[in-house]
Amino acid sequence: MLRLPSVVFFIFFILYSSPSVSERLPIPEIQLASQYSDDLALADYLVSEKLDGVRGYWDGQQMLTRSGRKIDLPVWFTQHFPRYALDGELWMKLWFI
């Protein structure tokens, strides 16, 4: 059963992430899943389970989605991020669900 805070969260999420509100920037060149190859050195990669979050691309200055929408993050979250590109998943555990 969904509680009121989770319903309110999803309503704000949908309203805020609509194309009319989100700032759209050039689509980042993100590697997508492809065919696995046996000659790939898996030790060269950091792998984690899929948590059903949102793909986040840090370009060294700002966070973008796969479609190029800017994700506004608090300064305390990004203050120690590197100046080079990172690609990963943004996920937040909702304690009230």
Within-domain flag for 37: no
Q: For residue range 5-47, what is the model confidence (pLDDT) as tens digits?
A: 666 666 666 656 555 555 566 667 776 667 777 887 878 877 7
Q: Of 14, 42, 47, 50, which residue is the catalytic one? A: 50
What range defines the domain where residue 50 resides?
Answer: 4-30+45-90
| 50 tagged catalytic | yes
pTM: 0.55
Within-domain flag for 59: yes
| Total domain count, the chain | 1
Q: Quickly list DSSP for the chain.
A: ---HHHHHHHHHHHHHTSTTTSPB-PPP--PPP----TT--GGGS------S-EEEEE-SS-EE-TTSBEE---HHHHTT--SS-EEEEE----TT-
